């Protein structure tokens, strides 16, 4: 019979899997408590970094309906459960792993499928949601300015044409007035 503490831990991890937009599996062997604290701070408020036993995580993943994580759950494992923007968490983990070789990114899980190390790194290379929205807004503003210019062009062409016709009439009337005076 399973111990109530373990059953509760499995239920808690399964709930974290269900409630997160992504999860990144890491190996933390060799990191000190102060380094783990620094990593947790770097991940921000939207990400929970949890050290768990592999057997409990495997059971929780099964309970949550996730498949394909068993290969990642070897050795000391910690999982970053991302509730917010996966790009920010992936960047924080990648940058921390560059500075601290003891942290190894094993893979992850997002959108119903497991992620390889390369896929996690590709996510980390993406711009954040705010940057992408700013780029989109800038592109849209540029297109609106082009559209405004296109819509204003016929009116300005008509105005220039009318001005040219006016000048031509005045030029034609001026020699006629000069010849009448003579």
pLDDT-based confidence at 81, cuts 50/70/90?
very high
- Are 103 and 154 found together in one domain? no
- Are 71 and 102 found together in one domain? yes
- Are 64 and 111 found together in one domain? yes
Domain ranges, residue 172: 128-182
Query: Distance (Å, rounded) from C-alpha 48 to C-alpha 83?
Result: 8
- Domain count of the chain? 2
- Are 115 and 26 found together in one domain? yes
Question: Going by C-beta distance under 8 Å and a sequence separation of 6 or more, which residues neighbour residue 80?
Answer: 23, 24, 26, 43, 47, 48, 49, 50, 89, 93
- Are 119 and 137 found together in one domain? no
pLDDT-based confidence at 111, cuts 50/70/90?
confident
Of 29-38, 71-80, 85-94, 144-153, give the lowest mean pLDDT range. 144-153
- Are 113 and 70 found together in one domain? yes
Residue 35: pLDDT above 60? yes
- Are 118 and 149 found together in one domain? no
pLDDT-based confidence at 176, cuts 50/70/90?
low
Where are any strands of DSSP class E within the chain?
22-27, 47-52, 77-82, 104-110, 113-115
Residue ending a domain, among 108, 126, 144, is 126
Share of the chain above pLDDT 90, in %: 4
Cα dist from 156 to 150, 159, 162, 182, whole Å: 10, 5, 10, 39
Contact 77, 25 (CB under 8 A): yes
- Are 89 and 9 found together in one domain? yes
What's the pLDDT tens digit per position in 112-167?
888 888 888 888 887 777 777 888 888 787 777 777 777 777 777 777 878 888 88
Question: Going by C-beta distance under 8 Å and a sequence separation of 6 or more, which residues neighbour residue 126?
Answer: 87, 132
């Amino acid at each position: 019979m399973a111990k109530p503490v373990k059953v509760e831990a499995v239920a808690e991890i399964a709930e974290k899997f269900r409630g997160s937009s992504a999860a990144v599996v890491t190996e933390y062997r060799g990191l000190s408590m102060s380094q783990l604290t620094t990593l947790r701070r770097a991940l921000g408020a939207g990400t929970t970094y949890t050290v768990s036993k592999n057997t409990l995580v495997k059971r929780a993943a099964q309970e949550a309906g996730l498949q394909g994580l068993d290969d990642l759950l070897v050795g000391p494992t910690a999982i970053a459960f991302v509730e917010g923007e996966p790009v920010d968490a992936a960047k924080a983990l990648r940058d921390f792993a560059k500075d601290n070789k003891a942290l190894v990114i094993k893979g992850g899980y997002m959108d119903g499928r497991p992620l390889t190390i390369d896929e996690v790194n590709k996510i980390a290379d993406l711009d954040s949601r705010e940057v992408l929205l700013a780029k989109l807004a800038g592109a849209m503003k540029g297109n609106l300015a082009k559209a405004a210019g296109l819509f204003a062009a016929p009116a300005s062409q008509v105005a220039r044409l009318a001005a040219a016709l006016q000048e031509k009439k005045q030029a034609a009337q001026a020699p006629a007035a000069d010849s009448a005076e003579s």
